[in-house]
Chain A
Amino acid sequence: MKYFRLIFPFILVCLSAIVWSCSDDDSVIESTEIFDRQAMLANWSDNIIIPAYQAFSTEVDALKSAVEAFETQPNEANLNTVRQEWEAAYIAWQNIAMFNIGPAETTFMRSFINTYPANVSSINTNISTGDYALQAANANDEQGFPALDYLLFGLADSDAQILEFYTSNVNSSKYITYLTELVNRINVIANQVVASWEGDYRDTFVNNSGAASNSSTNKLLNDWMFYYEVVFRNGKIGFPAGVFSEGSTLPQNVEAFYKKDLSKTLCLEALNAFQDFFNGEAFEGTTRGESLASYLHFLNTMKNGEDLSRIINNQFDLSRTAMSNLDDNFFNQINTNNNVMLVAFEELQASVVLLKSDMFSALSVAVEFESGDGD
């Protein structure tokens, strides 16, 4: 019976061990035999995320100055410069759209910058009345690149007629104002996000290296997956190709609908950015750091399993091939032969299986945010 006296202190010690272990302790263990998630987070932020944001911000600055020049001298040459800068910035955007974490999440960056199709009737009303609040959550389809797409390419059939909206139209000053405000708004959001990453957020992100559901890895990966499935696969291909709309295609929902021949470029850029992130490849570079691929590789050598990262990369390559077969203009592609769009969709789909089912399981990252108890 004398043991009993020891039982309560023993339980107490054990219970305090629980409390201690469960209070998110992010101590990093230095060892070559374990995969360092923090190094992966550092590679992501320092070599991919921050440079990509900075590049985007630079492009948006260029777009801003182009619009300012156009504002002072609304002529064809200046309009074309605005268009070129818009295109460059839109392409740069594809490299950061997948990172909806931290400042991008709190500013609703993705929603405000690239919600399409643009709501043309709201935009027209906004311009004519001058009564709008771009910060409102439901104004997300009245701004960003899709709205600019409409203002720069969709106001009329010919370039000369489009230019007239900014020159001889009775509301020309209102058109210029709206154009300027849209660009400024992108600029403000971009600056905010870049400032935050260049400031404190980088360390917050890298130091939150645990494995809990709110750790950087889990949060970013869950959203990264959501981006791939919904924003990328469905948004760029699935929705316009009618995959979710009971057999009827919705070609007017392609990205960059008014520019017409940019949809494929944007789609390919997004795929490349996504794959580079998987491989931990530096932005605009070729060096690779710790990444999902190296993490999988690390885990695989331990279990002598299949080389999952190679299988995933192969599938990305197959998707790229399927996508290269498409017309530069997805709107045309859907109207002439939607089947190749569906083929591309299926290839993108196959990656979802590998990422969501195999990769998440192998990394032991829960495919969900806060969940309840388990068994």
Chain B
Amino acid sequence: MTIKMEMSPQEIKQKKPYLEWGLSEKEYDYIAKKLLGRLPNYTETGLFAVMWSEHCSYKKSKAVLREFPNKNARVLQGPGEGAGIIDIGDGQGIVFKAESHNHPSAVEPYEGAATGVGGIIRDIFSMGARPIALLDSLHFGEIKDSRTRYLINEVVAGIGGYGNCMGIPTVGGEITFDECYADNPLVNAMCVGIIAQSKMQKGQAKGVGNAVMYVGAKTGRDGIHGATFASTDFSDERETQRSAVQVGDPFMEKLLLEACLLLTSKHQEWLVGIQDMGAAGLVSSSCEMASKAGSGMILELDNVPQREDGMSAYEIMLSESQERMLLCVRAGFEEEVKKLFHDFGLDAVVIGRVTEKKDYLLKHHGQVVTNIPVASLTDDVLEESSREKVPARIIKRNEQPTWHPGQLAVGDVLCKMLQQPTIASKRIFTETYDSQVRTNTVVGPGSDAAVLRIRQTDKAIALTTDGNGRFVYLDPFIGGKIAVLEAATNLVASGAKPLAITDCLNFGDPNDPEVCWELHQAVKGMAAACRQLDTPVISGNVSLYNESNGTAIFPTPMVGMVGLLENVRNYLTPTVKSVGAQLFLIGKTGNDFAGTEIQKMLTGKFSGPLNDFSLTDEVKKMEKLLQANQEGLLESAHDLSEGGLAVALVELVLHNQLGLSVSVDFAGEQLFSETPGRFVVSVAPQNVAAFKKLMGTDAVLIGEVTSKRECELTYQDGKTVLNLEEAKRLWEDAIPCLMKSRD
């Protein structure tokens, strides 16, 4: 390997290599003149570039993110740490966070997805929590495209490859398809952990003289400038950025997980703080730990375990090699910590100390290579207020006539709808994930939400991820409300009370004022829904620059929501249970066709304005439904989403041998309307009176469960009888068939 000569501070000023690293000239000048009073050297410039990237600093989105509610009586830890924590009683907490790995997955889909999973798992156990579940939210282009099929296969294999080996079940998630994601797929992963509240950890380095210890895998040249890479648009040169994608080693992470949990659960007195080395690796973890405690830090980079020869300080600090953690260990316990990690076959090395002066001092080969204030990296970043502009499509949308499907051959349309990839069975993918390991999975993939029991209690948690691009594209504010509401209805349909959310905000280039407007409006809508539902945003991430050759994806916020069932036995699934049970539709059905699956299927695009709705009414309705379930009145519940009531009805009888007889007082086309906040539930005959009394006008009787294997549908302008075995076959075979196509 050849050692390249690094540019001198003067050369950096003249040649401006930092522009390529994502630092603007204005930022560089501010750093040199205001923060340091001198020209930064090569290493320092690199540290600033990566720490001031949007991925690490949120400089463009911070102001907007402040609009999210992030506190209530249950929140034990809000945003700012590895993950958020909510109180579920009995001294236990649920720890969760979601993160995007979109750009790496577009370039190297297997490793991109795998390391996305690995990173989010580390965020959870860095809090001291045992990871118990994984979910994902994946958005791809249309399956007919051969590159998309390659991306799907590799991303799904990467998620399974990492999670299965770790022994953390992948219990739920979603996969949707739209042209806009073809070159920039979205790969969002969520991890959920459980913790005894007395064992909660923080990513902090305090106490002068305490040791900074490096544990886990060795540092290599992989993933250098990954955070900066995630903060730029894609162009066709992306193939050359392959070295910015990291490579995962789930076996190493399993060892690291067990070692860290042994440390945090049994030897808390040795430990001051712990943090994952995620984006921007050693630099972000170390300076954030120092910054949070108001400390300084000195690091000896020669002590950092290295996988390759001749690494420069710049490379060591910016490497995003996986499966590494940084600890702050109380002085005097270094040997104990080393022994604990060595027992797992892992490196554990003292690489520095906490200092009194609030400086960040790095030494390499006996030279001081960085000497800057800690806060200059973490707190002094120039926040950018973004100019916002309403996109033309939004201004013009009211000029277009509202689109209606019109009179439909309901049976034929429904059969076609069941084969739309976004609606069809995803079993071919979810079957490659271990969804049961740790034996807590009461309800796994394919339901509205996953349900996991909490051992040694009667409780269970329900988990869901919902990304919403199409509605947010048409109306970011209402779409943002719908994104959160959709997650809540998924939990309520599983019998759980929604508690809190995490999010991934997947948007386009923030230098585009229209993208800024979309982001701001979507956050406003989400925040409004979160306040009404009392589900604070306790963690999350922002993924901007999701564009490819100048075209942005649909603005796609992903909501990961956690809910609680006080008694696990109260869980619900969509599948109806008994012949004669009465079917009720909860919530009014409107003419909501903009952004729907039927609009896409019949017109090939999404257009038109969305109808607004009252969050107060939605919350009341959901509370009543939860009460009905607690009183034991429900046999099954399902929330209505893509494909509306028509698709939801078929989904009630996909996994048994029963049938349905249904009659509604609206037109056939409205069977496909996607008015948000609706449910279909089944109630045993003896409970119908009590259920009606409780729900009032929110519930309308629409039919009953029959023993005949067909779905008989009567509506204002017609009647259809659907053969359910045939429908099921279409729904099951659609994606396997598409994935097999060759071109």
Specify whether A and B are partners.
no
- B residues with a Cβ closer than 8 A to A are none
